[in-house]
């Protein structure tokens, strides 16, 4: 009995000593955080967001906060997400290995799997969210901390990742979720809903944003803001930033300066790949229905193997001078190619039953797409014209002209509008090595609906619309001018008699011969 008591006491003492060692290590790691990072970590909220500039030190804090959480949660799980696994490795892996070595924390690292298991059984995993079906496989984990790095790069997928994949995993252990990033190029999307409601404070609770369907999105997050000017490891930041503004001739309200160096939200439509304005280029579906009697439609199909399948339909009508997005849809498929083909064709068939009059259909037949589309044509009563990639940018220019003039309208809240709102040009732009080169799409952002819409745009003929003749009230001055013009035109169209020539000379002057093509 005495031996057992001694063993218990020894175990208690050992555990106490281990906790003390962990506490010392945690304090040492926390001591490396500066005030803004510490405020974020010590915030008791379970949903936190860090809206920062580049070089503000936001990425450096994640290795420390993740390690502290793993030390304090034996057998716990910490996950860090980036737009893809390579990006997550580039940002986190080496700093994490250096931190563990610097503080002599026992661990096992697997660089292939991008996982680190600490001596207490806790694990840190680095993940990529570029493939939805891979992210969906992570739904069953029980986690203590989740971090989404560079949230501005996720586009519309951020909402699904947070609410469908990440948040439910935190329930069991009452874990903490962090979002971090810089502002996006336009004020829209889930990242804006969370952090875009305050432009002066350094800390606030997000009120969220009320969407058109009546849902309140992004409310309740505890938001923190700081910039590179708050980073004590950049003592010359103010002088360097002043010099940068002078060299580039930036005013204080230049969108790039406000977004990247002040870390505040601002609309910068010039940074988008398409000339899309959420006000000028959207319509509410309840106010106009672009299908039914008199409407003609053109469809584009963007094929996806690893990426999403996407369909976009434009509608035009002889009584309208504008082009309207009538339908957009996209989906990723984890099953066979035949099941994806069946679902896409079902979507097209459903459109016909709803009153869509699709006269032309386009698909990307480059690479393996040609064989895939040929198989569709064999199996289904549809025919697709090829959308050549070599002509892509020329059609982008045409579509941008329609967007700038307000003649192209997208459905408010559609998948197509969400993509176009968040698809920027690839940076740097213009390219300093080739300033005359056309802009490219930023490959980190989804463009599946944008490509499908561009294909469908090739068949749009809304430009054939002509305004009906203006009706003029009888016996007004304008009405008499129209009558006179009509009489003159009749004389011009045939040989005129002497009396008619005399009348015409009195009506239009001595230049009447220009109106009469007489022998």
Instruction: Determine the Cα angle at 349 with ends 348 and 353, to 5°.
Output: 120
- Residue 274 burial (CB < 10 Å; 0-12/13-18/19+)? buried
Q: What is the percent of the chain where pLDDT is above 90? A: 50
- The more confidently predicted of residues 435 and 33 is 33
DSSP 3-state percent helix, strand, coil across the chain (nearest 5): 45, 20, 40
Average pLDDT, the chain: 86
Residue with tokens 């329609």: 402
The answer to whether residue 358 is domain-embedded is yes
Tokens of 117: 């298991």
Tokens of 402: 């329609």
The answer to whether residue 264 is domain-embedded is yes
Shared domain check, 441 and 494 = no
Instruction: Determine the Cα angle at 417 with ends 414 and 420, to 5°.
Output: 150
In 3D space, the residue among 263, 311, 350, 356 whose CA is nearest the CA of residue 451 turns out to be 311
The answer to whether residue 399 is domain-embedded is yes
Tokens of 179: 């979002």
Shared domain check, 263 and 334 = no
Q: Give the least confident one: 38-42, 65-69, 304-308, 395-399.
A: 304-308
Shared domain check, 314 and 340 = yes
CA distances from 283 to 268, 291, 406, 411 (A): 21, 14, 11, 5
- The yes-or-no verdict on residue 57 having pLDDT over 60 is yes
Domain boundary among 246, 268, 290: 268
CATH number of the structural domain spanning residue 331: 3.30.420.240
The answer to whether residue 63 is domain-embedded is yes
pLDDT tens across 117-132, in order? 999 999 999 999 876 6
Shared domain check, 330 and 260 = no
Residues 22 and 103 sit within 8 Å (Cβ to Cβ): no
Shared domain check, 182 and 147 = yes
Cα-to-chain-centroid distance, residue 330: 14
Shared domain check, 366 and 499 = no
The answer to whether residue 309 is domain-embedded is yes
Q: Give the least confident one: 1-5, 20-24, 69-73, 479-483.
A: 1-5
CATH number of the structural domain spanning residue 241: 3.40.50.300
- Polymer length of the chain: 519
Q: Give the least confident one: 2-11, 29-38, 238-247, 390-399.
A: 2-11
The answer to whether residue 24 is domain-embedded is no
Shared domain check, 339 and 422 = yes
- The yes-or-no verdict on residue 496 having pLDDT over 80 is no
**pLDDT class of 313 with cuts at 50, 70, 90:** very high
Question: From the CB of residue 98, how many other CB atoms can be counted at a distance below 10 Å?
Answer: 11
Domain boundary among 268, 301, 319: 268
Shared domain check, 157 and 60 = yes
In 3D space, the residue among 50, 69, 66 whose CA is nearest the CA of residue 58 turns out to be 50
Q: What is the percent of the chain where pLDDT is above 70? A: 87
Shared domain check, 488 and 460 = no
Shared domain check, 332 and 219 = no
Query: What is the predicted pLDDT for the residue at 178?
Result: 97
- The yes-or-no verdict on residue 288 having pLDDT over 70 is yes
Query: What is the predicted pLDDT for the residue at 519?
Result: 37
- d(Cα 476, Cα 474) in Å, to the nearest integer? 6
- The yes-or-no verdict on residue 518 having pLDDT over 50 is no
Residue-range definition of the domain harbouring residue 345: 282-464
Domain boundary among 245, 268, 291: 268
Q: How many domains does the chain have?
A: 3
The answer to whether residue 273 is domain-embedded is no
Shared domain check, 294 and 262 = no
In 3D space, the residue among 229, 224, 235, 277 whose CA is nearest the CA of residue 257 turns out to be 229
The answer to whether residue 277 is domain-embedded is no
Query: What is the predicted pLDDT for the residue at 160?
Result: 87
Beta bridge partners of 331: 309
Shared domain check, 457 and 499 = no
């Amino acid at each position: 009995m005495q031996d057992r008591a001694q063993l218990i006491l020894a175990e208690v003492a050992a555990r106490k000593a281990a906790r003390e060692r962990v506490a010392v290590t945690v304090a040492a790691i926390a001591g490396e955080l500066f005030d803004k990072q510490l405020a974020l970590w010590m915030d008791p909220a379970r949903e936190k967001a860090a809206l920062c500039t580049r070089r503000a030190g936001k990425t450096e804090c994640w290795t420390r906060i993740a390690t502290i959480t793993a030390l304090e949660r034996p057998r716990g799980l910490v996950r860090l997400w980036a737009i893809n696994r390579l990006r997550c490795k580039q940002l986190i892996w080496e700093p994490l290995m250096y931190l563990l070595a610097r503080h002599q924390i026992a661990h096992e690292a697997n660089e292939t799997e991008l996982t680190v298991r600490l001596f207490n059984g806790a694990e840190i995993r680095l993940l990529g969210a570029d493939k939805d079906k891979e992210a969906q496989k992570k739904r069953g984990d029980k986690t203590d901390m989740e971090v989404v790095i560079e949230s501005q790069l996720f586009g519309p997928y951020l909402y699904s990742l947070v609410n469908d994949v990440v948040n439910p995993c935190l329930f069991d252990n009452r874990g903490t979720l962090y979002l971090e990033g810089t502002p996006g190029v336009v004020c829209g999307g889930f990242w804006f809903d969370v952090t875009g409601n305050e432009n002066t404070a350094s800390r606030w609770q997000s009120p969220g944003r009320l969407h058109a369907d009546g849902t309140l999105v992004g409310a309740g997050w505890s938001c923190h803001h700081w910039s590179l000017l708050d980073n004590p490891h950049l003592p010359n930041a103010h002088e360097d930033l002043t010099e940068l503004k002078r060299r580039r001739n930036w005013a204080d309200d230049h969108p790039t300066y406000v977004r990247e160096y002040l870390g505040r939200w601002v609309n910068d439509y010039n940074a988008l790949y398409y000339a899309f304005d959420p006000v000028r280029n959207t319509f509410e579906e309840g106010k106009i229905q672009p299908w039914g009697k008199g409407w003609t439609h053109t469809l584009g199909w963007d094929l996806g193997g690893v990426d999403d399948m996407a369909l976009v339909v434009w509608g035009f009508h002889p009584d309208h001078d504008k082009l309207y997005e009538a339908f957009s849809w996209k989906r990723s498929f984890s099953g066979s190619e035949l099941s994806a083909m069946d679902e896409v064709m079902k979507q097209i068939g459903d459109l016909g039953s709803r009153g869509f009059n699709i006269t032309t259909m386009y698909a990307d037949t480059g690479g393996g797409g040609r064989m895939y589309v040929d198989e569709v044509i064999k199996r289904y009563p549809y025919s697709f014209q090829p959308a050549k990639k070599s002509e892509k940018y020329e059609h982008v220019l045409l579509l941008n002209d329609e967007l700038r003039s307000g003649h192209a309208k997208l459905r408010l809240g559609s998948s197509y509008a969400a993509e176009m709102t968040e698809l920027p040009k690839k940076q740097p732009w213009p390219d300093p090595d080739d300033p005359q080169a056309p802009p490219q799409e930023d490959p980190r952002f989804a463009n599946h609906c944008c490509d499908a819409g561009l294909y469908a745009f090739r068949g749009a003929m809304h430009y054939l619309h002509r305004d009906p003749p203006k009706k003029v009230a009888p016996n007004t001055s304008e009405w008499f001018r129209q009558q006179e013009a009509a009489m003159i035109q009749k004389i011009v169209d045939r040989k005129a008699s002497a009396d008619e020539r005399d009348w015409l000379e009195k009506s239009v002057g001595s230049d009447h011969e220009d109106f009469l093509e007489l022998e």
